[in-house]
A and B are shown apart, each in its own frame.
Chain A
Amino acid sequence: MKLNKILKNAFLVIVASFVLSACAVSKKTGQMQGDVYTGKDTVEYLASGVPDRVFFATNESVLTTASRETLRKQAAWLRKNSKITVVLEGHADERGTREYNLALGERRANAAKDYLMTYGISSNRIQVLSYGKERPVDSGSNPLAWSKNRRSVTVKAN
């Protein structure tokens, strides 16, 4: 019994250290937090310091803290450039059925749209377009590639 408990604890320690080292690795590369992409590889800029895209967790359309910061920058830029209209292109990764992903892409782009609107951007300046999983930026079949593809991209429409 006692031995069992010791073994169990030892096992937990080993598992915990695996988990910790896994976290350490992903932090070191600075590419993902949880399964949300945090890197800069695919990011383009609407203007200096204004990233064009935000990333999502698997199956999620909730905006992360980093996404909200990016969208506030976009809102500020849009307020300064009041003639510009944008299309928010929502995307999903390849690990889901085509039709559900079309809906998910639409939901993600709308999450971004809602946030821009709360920062004073009129809805008639924002169009939403879902591509589902049809337009990945990274053709890889791995978690990092998928994290880059789960995104909403703000594209100038005029």
Chain B
Amino acid sequence: MIKKILFSLIFIIPINAFALIEVDITRGNLNPLPIAVSPLSIDENSKKNFEKITKKNNLGSEISQIVEKNLKTSGLFNPLSKDAFLQAPDIANLKPRFEDWNLIKAQALITGKVKFVDEKLRVEFRLWDVLAGKEMMALAFTTVPSNWRRVGHIITDKVYERLTGEKGYFDTRIIYVAEEGPKTKRVKKLAIMDQDGANNKFLTLGNELVLTPRFNPTNQMVTYLSYFRNLPRVYLLDIETGMQEVVGDFPGMTFAPRFSPDGKKIIMSFAKDGNSDIYTMDLENRIVEKITNHPSIDTSPSYSPDGKYICFNSDRSGYQQIYIMKSDGSNVKRISFGKGLYGTPVWSPRGDLIAFTKLHKGKFYIGVMRTDGSGERLLTENFYQEAPSWSPNGRVLIFYRETETDEKGEGFTAKLWSIDLTGYNERQVNTPTDASDPSWSSLLSN
């Protein structure tokens, strides 16, 4: 279903320039870095060939627009208006006239070139430090022309990494639940899209209720909950082939699935006789293990990135709180002690934080705490929001938010939102329908 994609990196020139510019992503960035994204230059012949394949009349500027939009969305960069650019794209890519770019207050500049070579798309781009007057990075790669959007995302990832010192999150996808219809009879489908909302695709038809899809961090497999034949069970879906299978043979509801960091196990809840406990199933040998054994509700498990620990949600204290334990179920320890109820803990891919949903005095919060429960920080407050999922670099959270209905019970919406770990840059992620339960993939090109 999804084409296997081959990117061949041709050359990387490491430049040892002492760059003056760098972007600090550890704090809320109130002064985004002014950056000029020059349209990638393109020759007439390539233009014609790409137009035939992609229906875009200037693939060079289309790709640069993707880069620009990504940079802006990150909240760390301020892409400058192209109207102010003085230098033509092809000449700028050879050697920028830094005074011109300095004049429009650009601190960094991206230039590049696309070319049609042997039915393929060849891209090269450069990142320049305008103040120092130096090249910071140059990279070229070749791919099939239909991958042009991903080219824009990969360029953004490289620029982001060079300027912030951390991996990007742009060449990624989001799987989520698309919702339609009245609140009392919601129709839900699995859907997948690029991180920027492009290439939206529905993966199920909406005949049965589906919930909580999550990516395997190592490949394009997904685990989710389906009410197929009114039997709520955890399923596994291969999004390349569309193949689905039920996970394990449980005599009751299985739910809240997630993959282990190596992608080899699924961890989930199994509910029986009014009690939910946490189980794992090894996807290779199908061995099922019971991890918690407590008469309370134990759910929403999530592994630490090294696979040694599990955080989960339990009401064994009387109310919903967050706990951690070793991955064999030993050493259970409560870590949430603030006021209110805590749910949906998710371990950051960086390992140092746990994101959660909190309910306190009728409001819902998305927050983070250290893995020992200290340093709780609430990022956003709303009428209803939950289910944070981390960007693969652990810098951004995506979650869903529902609105309050009016006196007639109308006006309900569910939308995806993202927010930086800093608490800044909160924005709605556009989807063609209402949406919930987002899960962020790992970087596709790594």
Residues of A within 8 A of B (CB): 59, 61, 94-100, 102-104, 106-107, 109-111, 114, 128-130, 134-141, 145
Q: Find residues 342-376 in chain B having any chain A CB closer than 8 Å to their own CB.
A: 343-344, 357, 359, 362
Q: A97-B386, A140-B405 are in contact. Are A102 and B256 (CB under 8 A)?
A: yes
| CB of A155 to closest CB in B, whole Å | 11
Residues B343 and A100 in contact, CB atoms below 8 Å apart: yes
Known: A99-B313, A139-B410. A94 touches B274 (CB 8 A): no
Q: Are B274 and A136 in contact (CB under 8 A)?
A: no
**Assembly CA distance A106 to B182 (angstroms):** 24
Asked whether A111 lies within 8 Å of B274 as measured between CB atoms, the reply is yes
- Assuming A97-B343, A129-B230, is B409 touching A106 (CB within 8 A)? no
The answer to whether B232 has its CB under 8 Å from any CB of chain A is yes
Whether A106 and B256, one on each chain, are in contact in the complex, defined by CB atoms closer than 8 angstroms, is no
What residues on A are CB-neighbors of B184 within 8 Å? Answer: 135-139
| Residues in chain B near residue A95, CB distance under 8 A | 359, 362, 384
B297 at the interface (CB under 8 A from A): yes
* Cβ–Cβ contact B437 & A97, under 8 A: no
How many chain B residues touch the partner (CB < 8 A)? 47
> Does the CB pair A130–B253 fall under 8 Å?
yes
Given known contacts A97-B343, A138-B409, A103 and B209 CB-to-CB distance under 8 angstroms: no
Known: A99-B269, A103-B255. 12 other contacts (CB 8 A): A96-B359, A97-B387, A98-B436, A99-B255, A102-B225, A102-B256, A103-B271, A106-B252, A106-B274, A107-B276, A135-B185, A138-B409
**Are B232 and A130 in contact (CB-based, < 8 A)?**
yes
18 pairs, CB–CB < 8 Å, chain A vs chain B = A94-B402, A95-B359, A96-B320, A97-B300, A97-B344, A100-B313, A103-B269, A103-B271, A103-B276, A103-B297, A107-B276, A114-B274, A128-B252, A139-B182, A139-B412, A140-B409, A141-B404, A141-B409
Among B209, B343, B383, B409, the residue within 8 A (CB) of A139 is: B409
Give the docked Cα–Cα distance between A135 and B402 (Å).
Answer: 15
| Complex interface: chain A residues within 8 A of B386 (CB) | 97-98
CB of B7 closer than 8 Å to a CB of A: no
Q: Considering the complex, give the chain A residue whose CB is closest to the CB of B300.
A: A99
Q: Is B271 a contact of A134 with CB atoms below 8 Å?
A: no
Inter-chain CB contacts under 8 Å: number: 105
Q: Does B264 contact A (CB under 8 A)?
A: no
Let me know if A134 and B274 touch, CB within 8 A.
no
Q: Which of B413-438 contact A (CB under 8 A)?
A: 436-437
Residues of B within 8 A of A (CB): 182-186, 209, 211-212, 225, 230, 232, 252-253, 255-256, 269, 271, 273-276, 297, 299-300, 313, 315, 319-320, 341, 343-344, 357, 359, 362, 383-384, 386-387, 402, 404-405, 407, 409-410, 412, 436-437
Q: Is the CB of B182 within 8 A of A100?
A: no
Q: Which residues of A contact B211 (CB under 8 A)?
A: 98, 102, 134
Whole-angstrom CA separation of A85 from B253 in the bound complex:
19
Query: Given the known A-B contacts A61-B274, A106-B271, are A98 and B232 also in contact in the complex, defined by CB atoms under 8 Å?
Result: no
Distance between Cα atoms of A111 and B225 in the complex (Å): 24
Candidates A100, A129, A136; contact of B297 at CB < 8 Å: A100
Contact status A102-B253, CB under 8 Å: yes
Complex: how many Å from CA A139 to CA B182? 8
Cβ–Cβ contact A130 & B186, under 8 A: no
- Complex alpha-carbon distance, A134 and B189, angstroms: 13
CB < 8 Å neighbour of A110 from B186, B232, B273: B273
10 nearest A-B residue pairs (beta carbon): A110-B274, A97-B343, A139-B409, A139-B183, A103-B276, A141-B404, A103-B297, A99-B256, A106-B271, A107-B274
Our pick among B271, B341, B407, B412 for the contact of A102 (Cβ within 8 Å) is B271
Q: A94-B402, A137-B184, A141-B404 are in contact. Are A102 and B232 (CB under 8 A)?
A: yes
Residue of B nearest to A114 (CB): B274
Nearest CB of A to B246, in Å: 16
State the Cβ distance, A46 to closest chain B Cβ, in Å: 19
A100 contacts which of B252, B320, B402 (Cβ < 8 Å)? Answer: B320
With a 10 A CB-CB cut-off, give which of A100, A102, A137, A145 has the most chain B CB atoms. Answer: A100
Contact of B209 among A61, A97, A134 (CB under 8 A): A134
- Which residues from B are CB-within-8-Å of A111? 274
Q: How far is the CB of B410 from chain A (nearest CB, A)?
A: 7
Q: What's the minimum C-beta distance from B114 to chain A, rounded to whole angstroms?
A: 44
Bound-state Cα–Cα, A110 to B297, Å: 13
Q: Which residues of A contact B276 (CB under 8 A)?
A: 103, 106-107
Q: A98-B211, A100-B343 are in contact. Are A130 and B437 (CB under 8 A)?
A: no
Give the CA-CA distance A83 to B230 in the complex, in Å.
Answer: 21
Docked CA distance A139–B300 (Å): 26
Closest Cβ–Cβ distance, residue A85 to chain B (whole Å): 14
Distance A120 CA – B343 CA, assembled complex (angstroms): 37
Whole-angstrom CA separation of A69 from B412 in the bound complex? 35
A106 CB, nearest partner CB in chain B, Å: 4
Asked, given contacts A97-B313, A114-B274, A145-B409, whether A106 binds B253 with beta carbons under 8 Å apart, the answer is yes
**Closest B residue, CB atoms, query A107:** B274
- Across the interface, A59 reaches (CB within 8 A) one of B271, B319, B387, namely B319
Nearest CB of B to A138, in Å: 7
A71 to chain B, nearest CB (A): 15
Given A59-B319, A98-B437: A130 and B313 within 8 A (CB)? Answer: no
